[in-house]
């Protein structure tokens, strides 16, 4: 449309841009003209749920490989909130069979209320694997799995049960784990349940290089 600068965008016809693109573009144009259209959030609301889900690089038939994937996804979900909040429940697992018309289909999701709110990766992983073993069916090629942590509550408002005396020590341990992974890279320290080789991981042969975010992605001049 011949729009190459912010000024040209500001002076363009907002209605035309809306009809050709979207209402978001129209609001952007009006914001450039000083008309408030997009509400600002000074404080980001706390997350109510966290989902960690990925497709596999190949169909998985072995339950052990599925367990590694689910354990890895659960560790990522637990870490994503920085342990600042705790999760009472539920933990939901979504193992998906590869969706192809000529193959038998199987999908199952289970919601489990946890007895105590916790951000302990060990506890969450143990529950996730318990559920996975319950809903796993042999004979299918699994294409995807995932976990969801819901009903997230502030950590300071959590009331421990009478028999959960080890929670403070678990919090300290998780902070150490997070600190090591932040310093040396995610996954530097992880549960053995997540596996080592992780052949089930998504294929990344076409992943764009990270020239601006990863030292290893910088191009090197051939000698």
**Per-residue model confidence as pLDDT tens digits over 41-73:** 666 666 677 888 888 878 888 888 889 989 998
Structure tokens at 166: 């080890």
Query: Could you tell me if 105 and 52 lie in one domain?
Result: yes
* Domain around 34: 1-40
What is the structure's pLDDT at 42?
A: 61
Residue 21 lies in a domain: yes
Q: Are residues 101 and 31 in the same domain?
A: no
Are 145 and 109 in the same domain?
yes
The reply to whether 182 falls in a domain is no
Q: For the chain, how many structural domains are there in total?
A: 2
Please indicate, yes or no, if residue 77 is contained in any of the structural domains. Answer: yes
**Which of the listed residues 154, 178, 200 is the one where a domain comes to its end?**
154
The reply to whether 61 and 142 lie within a common domain is yes
In a domain, 87, yes or no: yes
CA 150 to chain centre: 13
Q: Is 26 left (phi over 0), alpha (psi -120 to 50) or beta?
A: alpha
User: Do 17 and 92 lie in a common domain?
Assistant: no
pLDDT at 181: 86
Say if CB 137 and CB 113 are below 8 A apart.
no
112 assigned to some structural domain: yes
CA distance 68 to 187: 13
On whether residue 183 sits in a domain, the answer given is no
**pLDDT number for residue 97:** 45
Q: Can you tell me the distance from the alpha carbon of 161 to that of 130, in angstroms, rounded to the nearest whole number?
A: 22
Phi, psi of 92 (to 5 degrees): -120, 135
The pLDDT assigned to 95 comes to 47
Determine contact, residues 87/114, Cβ cutoff 8 Å.
yes
What are phi and psi for residue 189, nearest 5 degrees? Answer: -125, 120
Q: What is the CATH number of the domain that holds 47?
A: 3.30.1490.100
- At 41 the three-state DSSP class reads coil
**Contact, 93 vs 125, CB < 8 A?**
no
Q: How many other C-beta atoms lie within 10 A of the C-beta of residue 28?
A: 18
Q: Is 163 helix (H, G, I), strand (E, B) or coil?
A: coil
Joined tokens for residue 169: 């020590």
Predicted TM-score (pTM) of the model is: 0.64
Residues 55 and 131 in one domain: yes
**Quick one: 64 and 142 in the same domain?**
yes
82 and 148 co-located in one domain: yes
| Shared-domain flag, residues 130 and 65 | yes
Among positive and negative, which fits the CA dihedral 177, 51, 73, 118? Answer: positive
**Residues facing 149 on adjacent strands:** 50, 91
Counting as low any pLDDT under 70, the low residues of the chain are: 41-47, 81-103, 155-167, 202-207, 223
Question: How many Å apart are CA 173 and CA 82, to the nearest integer?
Answer: 13
Residues 146 and 50 in one domain: yes
């Amino acid at each position: 449309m011949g729009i190459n600068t912010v000024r040209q965008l500001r002076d363009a016809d907002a209605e035309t841009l809306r009809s050709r693109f979207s209402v978001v573009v129209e609001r952007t144009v009006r914001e450039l003209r000083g008309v408030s259209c997009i509400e600002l959030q000074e404080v980001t609301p706390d997350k109510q749920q966290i989902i960690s889900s990925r497709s596999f690089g190949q169909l998985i038939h072995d339950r052990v490989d599925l367990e590694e994937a689910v354990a890895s996804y659960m560790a990522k979900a637990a870490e994503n909130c920085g342990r600042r909040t705790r999760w009472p429940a539920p933990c939901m697992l979504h193992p998906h069979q590869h969706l192809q018309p000529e193959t038998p289909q199987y999908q199952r999701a289970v919601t489990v209320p946890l007895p105590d709110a916790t951000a302990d990766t060990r506890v969450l992983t143990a529950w996730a694997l318990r559920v996975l073993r319950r809903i796993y069916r042999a004979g299918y090629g699994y294409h995807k799995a995932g976990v969801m942590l819901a009903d997230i509550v502030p950590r300071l408002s959590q009331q421990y049960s009478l028999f959960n005396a080890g929670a403070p020590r678990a919090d300290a341990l998780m902070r150490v784990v997070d600190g090591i992974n932040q310093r040396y890279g995610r996954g530097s320290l992880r549960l053995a349940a997540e596996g080592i080789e992780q052949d089930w991981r998504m294929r990344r042969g076409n992943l764009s290089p990270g020239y601006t975010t990863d030292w290893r992605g910088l191009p090197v001049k051939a000698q």
